[in-house]
Structure 1
């Protein structure tokens, strides 16, 4: 569908490095996605007018903002995290914690740290993942003035708040990645609409396990949520707000196979294809300092980490809200693996 003055082109349609540069992507299960089903996200420079940033966010469901946090501050946090995990020998011998290169002699399925219910079997590793969420360096990073001031400018909130339950997690090459979901699945108690900020802590190439977004999927996410509430009529109140209810996979995800998801939801997506815009999974080459903001209904997940340099993807998921909003109180405690979320 051609862009008009009243209907500008989606941000990702304005950026195309070239079809030969698109990476081959796959999720935890299933085959590689056909390259015709992938596309590039559009990066947004930090000095872009706020009105344009908000337009992109409203239209596309996300805005990928470059250089929100000084690069060296982000790399300092990366170095701190891998020093914190040094006893697990997760890093390749002789490499820097700042680079975060995976020790390929280890079993990737035993050294992942994607959070939620997909945790390593080692109790020691789990304890380190938990304690990483409370180190002074990480707590200070969450309060970074560059990030917080941008949130206030972008949202026009008088005062921003951030839920205490953040998700600081790593994804090693060949390990488990985050399944496909939309955030509202896990935030069903409370009326507050959250702004998610996904912060890559280090450079993350498009094939390095970073976030992928299903193009124009906000309305699909909202339709799925409406359908859930219809089917939830006979559930208990606890089951309704749980992301792990009978209508979900065991870990609360919609799927771990992006190809299957496209096939299963084709009826919802067909109208877009009829307009000549085949729905795609959008990816990006993220850099330290970037932050991607998205709404609670945009469908997304992570591709398998197949980084050519062996880099571990490290990131944190942050949820911001306006002070005074009705909150999901379950999210006001620091993450623990037994918190039911």
Structure 2
């Protein structure tokens, strides 16, 4: 609670994680994104594959997140039982799952999840699950410890942290430079070499982002959300066909640099 995250080694059964990994890699292989000269489970990127090709194939109609092995991983007994104990009541997971397939040189900038899904329960948590061993050079996730509660981050949480990307049409990442946050506000970044089975759980107001993938392998991870079942859920992410971001378009976005000028941060 003090640091804004919980790092759980072995939350998931390793065999379940690897089964989900195989299911996803088979889709990537069918899309022609995997190096045919390497072992499938290594997730080696086929040279010359454009990122848009494999991303569109894997995520078309969100079919990849409906596979039985993937579903068993993120909605199965181990994780749901954990959140039942963690929340002290029956848990609900968003129907929408955020699958990430990250190529060489790619990363996720520092941000708060509340700007994407802040319309429901205040007791909503993100679980970041590496689908396979994910060392730091593959682009592991990092969290800025204490950013959810430290006074130095209060104004950031009250301004940037209270925006809604669909309502305000502002870019979601606060910055692409993680060192800027430490230099200006304090705190420290924490990450690890993650193993299949591990999970990183954090609040909607914990700043986080990823390291850069400097390998020639895909980083396959998933972000899933859990909250008490008896509290309201953000309507964008639940239901048989969640509507997701209905008003967030790149060509209409206010650049974060402009929004930060308005906020004075």
Fold match (TM-score > 0.5): yes
Alpha-carbon separation, structure 2, partners of 1:338 and 1:155: 27
Deviation at 1:134, TM superposition (A): 2.0
Distance 1:318 1:96, change over 3 A: same
The residue aligned with 1:79 is 22
The residue aligned with 1:144 is 76
Bigger radius of gyration, 1 or 2?
A: 1
Deviation at 1:153, TM superposition (A): 2.0
Alpha-carbon separation, structure 2, partners of 1:196 and 1:178: 15
The answer as to 2:33 corresponding to 1:90 is yes
Alpha-carbon separation, structure 1, partners of 2:18 and 2:231: 33
The residue aligned with 1:258 is 178
Contact 2:139–2:213 (CA<8 Å) still a contact in 1? yes
Deviation at 1:222, TM superposition (A): 4.9
SS of corresponding position for 1:146: helix
Alpha-carbon separation, structure 1, partners of 2:237 and 2:57: 20
The residue aligned with 2:99 is 168
Contact 1:221–1:298 (CA<8 Å) still a contact in 2? no
Distance 1:325 1:98, change over 3 A: same
Cα-to-partner distance string for 1:177-205 (whole Å, 9 max, x where unaligned): 22210111112222432011111000011
Unaligned runs of 5+ in 2: 249-265
* Larger helix fraction of residues: 2
TM-score (norm 2): 0.82
Q: For this pair of structures, how many residues does the alignment match? A: 243
Deviation at 1:340, TM superposition (A): 4.4
Alpha-carbon separation, structure 2, partners of 1:94 and 1:87: 15
TM-score (norm 1): 0.65
Contact 2:23–2:69 (CA<8 Å) still a contact in 1? yes
Contact 1:221–1:299 (CA<8 Å) still a contact in 2? no
Unaligned runs of 5+ in 1: 1-57, 112-119, 233-239, 270-278
